[in-house]
Amino acid sequence: MIAMPPVLFARTDGPRLAYRYRSGRGPTIVFLPGYMSDMEGSKAIALDQWAAAQGQAMLRFDYAGCGASEGRFADGTLASWRDDALALIDMLVQGPLLLVGSSMGGWLALLIALARPDRVAGLVGIAAAPDFTDWGFTDADKALLATEGRIEEPTPYGDAPYVTTLAFWESGQAHRLLDGEIAIDCPVRLLQGQCDADVPWGIAVRVAERLRSSDVQTLLVKDGDHRLSRDGDIALLIATVTALLDSL
Q: Which of 48, 62, 226, 233 is catalytic?
A: 226
Residue 176, classed as helix, strand or coil, is coil
48, 196, 198, 233: the active-site residue? 196
> 103 an active-site residue?
yes
What is the three-class DSSP state of 192? Answer: strand
User: Does 226 participate in catalysis according to the annotation?
Assistant: yes
Give the N- to C-terminal CA distance of the chain in Å, as an integer. 35
- The count of other CB atoms within 10 Å of the CB of residue 141 is 15
Q: Which of 37, 69, 103, 171 is catalytic?
A: 103
- Between the CA of residue 171 and those of 81, 130, 152, what are the distances in Å? 11, 12, 18
| Dihedral of alpha carbons 17, 27, 199, 20, sign | negative
Regarding beta strands 7-9 and 17-22, do their DSSP bridges make them parallel or antiparallel, or are they unpaired?
antiparallel
Active site residue 118: no
Active site residues: 103, 196, 226
